[in-house]
Amino acid sequence: MRAALPVEMDRITAAHVTRLLSQLRQEFQYIVVDTAPGLGEHVLATLEQATDAVWICGMDVPSIRGMRTGFQILEDLALVPEQRHIVLNMADRRAGLSLKDVEATIGVPVDVVLPRSKSLPFSTNKGVPVLQEGNRDPASKGLRQLVERFKPGWEARPHKQLHRRAVFQ
């Protein structure tokens, strides 16, 4: 099978995405969609179908402002999924920003912090998922916290300050 050409990708509409997700929902309990950045028609169609959404933000001003703007647009369109999970990626105290700065700017709490880590790019380059490595890297711990949020009954479990679990290492 040959790969699709970018020109052919333009023929895929939001309606196609909606229909595909609807069909997949009949077959699978979980459907994970890694969307393109931005809020194009395919992303909006995906969000219309989503029960959960994970937003990943870098610890830099452009990423943080972009997330804030995106949330404002999605709220205006009433497209914020029921469960929103915010991940702060490449967190580093030396970045000149604090967790409180990030949360104040985006207007919502950060749920999971992934500290800057050598194990993540190494895992990607090696082709082995970091959670299968079994190492005790702080970034792996953060990824496990994210995975826990998708286990059945997670919302019903007791949590200490539901959205204030993010901690810098």
Percent of the chain with pLDDT strictly greater than 90: 49
CA dihedral 36, 42, 47, 53 (to 10 degrees): -20
H/E element holding 140?
A: helix 138-148
Instruction: Name the residue with higher pLDDT: 159 or 167.
Output: 159
pLDDT in the model for residue 124? 86
pLDDT in the model for residue 167? 43
Contact status, residue 116 vs residue 122, Cβ threshold 8 Å = no
pLDDT in the model for residue 165? 45
Q: What are the tens digits of pLDDT across the range 44-62?
A: 999 999 989 999 999 999 9
Answer whether residue 67 shows pLDDT above 90: yes
pTM: 0.81
**Planar angle of CA 43, 50, 42, nearest 5 degrees:** 15
pLDDT in the model for residue 166? 47
Spatial distance between the Cα atoms of 114 and 166, rounded to a whole number of angstroms: 9
Spatial distance between the Cα atoms of 66 and 73, rounded to a whole number of angstroms: 11
According to CATH, the superfamily of the domain at 52-169 is P-loop containing nucleotide triphosphate hydrolases (3.40.50.300)
pLDDT in the model for residue 24? 95
**Beta strand pairing call for 83-91 and 112-115:** parallel
Q: Hey, where are the domains in the chain? A: 1-50, 52-169
H/E element holding 113?
A: strand 112-115
H/E element holding 145?
A: helix 138-148
